[in-house]
Structure 1
Amino acid sequence: MVAPGVAGGSPPSRWPSEEELDIVRKKVVEISGRDTTEVRVVACPYRICPLGAHIDHQGGIVTAMTINYGVLLGFVPSDDAEVVLQSGQFKGVIRFRVDDLQKPIENPENIDWESYARGAVYALQNSGYDLRKGIIGYISGVKGLDSSGLSSSAAVGIAYLLALENVNDLALSPVDNIQLDKCIENKYLGLENGILDPSAILLSRHGYLTFMDCKTALPSYVYFSELSKSQQSQGQLPFKILLAFSGLQHNLPKKRGYNTRVFECKEAACALLCALGCEDASSILRNVEPGVYESQKCILEENLARRAEHYFSEMKRVVKGRDAWARGNLQEFGQLVSASGRSSIVNYECGSKEMIELHEILLKAPGVLGARFSGAGFRGCCLAIVDRDQAEEAAAHVRAEYEKAQPEVVNKIPMDRRVLVCEPGDSARVILPLSHHS
């Protein structure tokens, strides 16, 4: 049973399975000594962004959906303010108290798996919420997907937020938690992330494409027009999502390229606004009218010009993508996804030799309608929208071709995690203890 109000009225998702939930519940029982019927579980899915790459931090409009893989955090309330955590991916035990004052991390090199739990406490404290109870918990992601460009860090942060809110009887909306996760990333961890990741995880609905205006923080939903809503609730979508992993570990804090690109976008916005005498305006590209960009872009130096071109062309693709999705035109939608991928490489200049090679292999796979990098794009994985009936054939093609191209890198990826065929998922939610089930 899903906690009332948490899932936002979405249809039941096939993830997590009862087997996955049972594994997490048993781990919490081992750690806490409590009964299985007391264990609550936060299910936080990973997300993809088909269109709207690298524009959320500029107030752009982005698209998102979750997939049927993610983070599970099993927990019970502590008897006091102590937090005790173990992980399925990392060794050791975390212990601290929710009434200890948390301070932002000064050096990004010091970020580890404990940081996100402390960051959640920091965000709640910083927003004035009273935390009296901690949690005893066990968190587990999907091995190989926890650093791959699927927004696993946001999923982890949100999982801790929802668990802490649950045991402290805090009724916060998804919009509240989007801002709290942004506080974890921006203020506690020192990353220049926008709101795309937490918005996707907290607001997505199974079978729908979520459109998020990152300036107004307002979401909207579009369903695929070839389907009735009753079909969507049964998961009968004409496409699947292919995730192909590069074997290069993605570690955002250590990759200076991400923050550098964000600052370059802001520099471009500042230059364009200053040319109009609007120096008081917030320096993000969303505050620059497209017509102004077209008339003034000649003043931008080469790097800034490329970042701005990516932003404005990507905004156009999002608008066209919304229309294509609403009309049920997957072919056109896929072409826009691929165009987004090309712009990310040429104009935003992210990616690596391996990532670009993987992207090109995906584009040639049977049934693939469109492909681009997932996440920041420097490392991690690529995503593709693929015809449902050809998904397995496409996956086999990508596995074989990438192994030929990068045999040494491929060997670092577990065999069953090299290419995944995924379904769209649902939003993050708290699954109540077994004792609450009817």
Structure 2
Amino acid sequence: MTPTTSRPPRLRFRFPDWAGRNFRLLAAAAFVTNLGTSGAVVASAFAVLRAGGDATDVGLVAAARTVPLVVFLLVGGAVADRLPRHRVMVAANCLNAVSQGVFALLVISGEARIWQMAVLAALGGTGTAFFAPANEGMLLSTVDGAHAGRAFAVFRLGVNGANVGGAALAGALIALVGPGWVLAVDAACFALAASLRALLRVTRTAAAATPGGGLLRDLHDGWREFASRRWLWGIVVQFSVVNAVMVAAEAVYGPLVSQAELGGAGPWGAALAAFGVGNILGGFLMLRWRPRRILLAGTLCVFPFALPAVALALVLPVPLLAATMLVAGLSIEVFGVTWMLALRQEIPEDKLSRVAAYDWFGSVSMIPLGTALAGPAAGAFGLTGALWGCAGLAVLLTGAVLLAPEVRDLRRKDTTAEVAGGGPAPVVQPIPNDPPGGSGEGTASLS
């Protein structure tokens, strides 16, 4: 008799129960989008310089992307709550794919002009203004309350990993093939992300904005929802200033200190990479940590966000500067996850995108002003004084937010029955897992 041999059991990878089909599609699309976009930010600056532009022109093209983002954000939030969110996201991705594709063709052909780049950047910013609120509303309503913290941490891990990897790849590709091809890759990433998001299955949309009320009524309802929660508008006001001063420190003061005191661009690049690594470590931390007072824990973790400005003001050695950047990246990622948890459990699902739009508006609207005033502030107070001012404003406003009892006392709710102020679970439910037990861009703003 021939002896029989038993085959070893075949291993089969299974997604956790909370990672439903919609969540997986959102996470994959966000990874693809951010992989391309993080490289395109670097490539667009080099494209402007290779077209004969100077630092002012680089700033002009960057501002051309930011201005329509600020202008159309609130409209984008209202549209995302009125129409199926995944369709708004797909349309916005298509606009970004086309604008970046044309941008790439002009750069590759050597025919790009500064005004053309500015117009195409403005189209990209418009697409982002409609995409960001729809994406945040869709993501927040796709996971159940019991697993939301872990899901958001996983989502942000993918986004942060893509940002770090995309920026690193872009530097190498620009040197090898030029910035135009990096922009072409970004356009292809947007097209692929649109295809993934088109596969989202939504059982029922949140588009129940007041019938016949019109866009202005939708915006008013969103504002009322936003303004009625002191913890919400307080933290958004906090980050409108914190983001502005920290971006000024990173984009303006960091390179200046590094060039004058630390040995050039290399050390500052290493410090920025350490910040990205900190983001990733913070994501891993939030896979395990489940703080009960979510906003208290998150807001306390904003204080270390001021450390890089302090390190630059003191001109610490590069290893210590990198260490402060890593701690800042880790701590602000903790805030990011707890903030998403708070929005997910406290805001009614049909108003998520409008509230997210006000959040985004507050988070980005002051950044152009902060970077514009960075130079005059350094001239008036000195570079060291301006850096201490950035750190002091961040600490002062964070401490002020903690005075609000709503921030200190808001607690995690772990069941879907407890979300949105005790109301019903979100109407956009995760699609059931494909087999039993089977089966996400930054966005985000910091606040």
TM-score (norm 2): 0.28
Greater fraction of residues in helix: 2
TM-score of the aligned structures, taking structure 1 as reference length: 0.28
Higher Rg: 2
The structure with higher relative contact order (CA 8 Å, sep 6+) is 2
> Greater strand share, 1 or 2?
1
